[in-house]
Amino acid sequence: SYNLPWESLAESYETGEPLRDVRKAALKLSLLGITPNTPVIVVGKANQGAGEEGRVAWMLQYLGVDNVQVAGTDVFRRLWTQKPSAPAQNAETWTASP
């Protein structure tokens, strides 16, 4: 798992506008190992949050990631571990297609 705040894919926090340079967004995702063919589950706080996971999921789909799902933390609570995730493996750079 990786922490990907919606702000990292936005031009600014104030407007929430998507990054204007979609190449930059695709590069950020590539560095996390995410490509258009990578299945992604966005985990958030569900009803206790402010919709952050929806923003991330929308942005991923906007950029061309095909398989994006959303889940609340309660779904995974019993599977949590203190073991850190393996470091991200970079993926090939790809072109976003909004």
Q: Note the pLDDT tens digit of each residue in 36-87.
A: 999 999 999 888 888 899 999 999 999 999 999 999 888 777 777 778 878 8
pLDDT of residue 85: 77
Within the chain, residue ranges assigned H as helices are 22-31, 52-63, 73-76
94: alpha, beta or left? (left if phi > 0; alpha if psi -120 to 50): beta
Question: Looking at the predicted structure, is the pLDDT value of residue 10 above 80?
Answer: yes
pLDDT tens-digit readout, 19-34? 899 999 999 999 999 9
Residue 93 pLDDT grade (very low, low, confident, very high; cuts 50, 70, 90): confident
Two structure tokens written together for 88: 């991200």
Q: What is the DSSP letter of 8?
A: G
Sequence-distant (6+) residues with CB within 8 A of 84 are none
